[in-house]
Amino acid sequence: MEVLMPEPQIYVERTLAIIKPDVIDKEEEIEDVILRSGFHILQKRKLQLSPEQCSNFYAEQFGKMFFPNLTAYMSSGPIVAMVLARNCAVSYWKEMLGPSNSLRARITHPHSLRALYGTDELRNGLHGSLSISSAEKEIRFIFPEAILEPLPTGQRARDYLNLYVKPTLLAGLTALCKERPADPM
């Protein structure tokens, strides 16, 4: 009896990246850095958010002193939103961004994107999701048509690796050993 297995899916972590209005002219330069850092740009969209959309997007910041300035800034011009994918996308993107305050980033993380492109605490040039769950929420907000698969964890992840990845690796490595290239270097 043959068991039909579903087609394998590759689960890769995603995060939302936004190029903010004041650095939109550096879009190509920033995208080049993103791609050279091992990210794949799954979706990209240029749009201008209304102040109402900005306050919905940054709802968790509501009530903070900078909230009105943040919504005014983010709705002041077009932005470029991108869904980035790679292993550990959220944490790697946050690391690339550096501290949210660009002035502090210049001192503590001088090669970070916010140190390079931001101007102050508010106008830090780029946005990144804080966690996997906030990335999913933000991606759905900016890209409502996006389909996000859940990341497997625990036994589901081990089953996937045992069923699809390990047999493929074993077959490939076995074939490579049988070939023995004449000049491996």
Tens of pLDDT along the chain (185 residues) come to: 455 655 555 557 899 999 999 999 999 999 999 999 999 999 999 999 999 999 999 999 899 999 999 999 999 999 999 999 998 999 999 999 999 999 999 999 999 999 999 999 889 999 999 999 999 999 999 998 876 666 666 777 788 788 888 888 888 888 877 877 677 66
For residue 114, what pLDDT is reported?
97
d(CA 143, CA 139): 5
**Are the CB atoms for 73 and 79 separated by under 8 Å?**
no
b/e per residue 141-174 (b: at least 16 CB within 10 A): bbbeeeeeeeeeeeeeeeebeeeeeeeeeeeeee
b/e per residue 74-89 (b: at least 16 CB within 10 A): bbbeebbbbbbbbeeb
CB atoms inside a 10 Å sphere around CB 31: 17
**Are the CB atoms for 139 and 83 separated by under 8 Å?**
yes
**Rounded to the nearest 5°, which phi and psi values hold at 59?**
-55, -35
Is 111 among the catalytic positions? Answer: no
For residue 108, what pLDDT is reported?
96
* pTM of the shown model: 0.74
- Matching residue, tokens 């011009």: 77
Sign, CA dihedral 42-45-51-53, equals: negative
For residue 147, what pLDDT is reported?
65
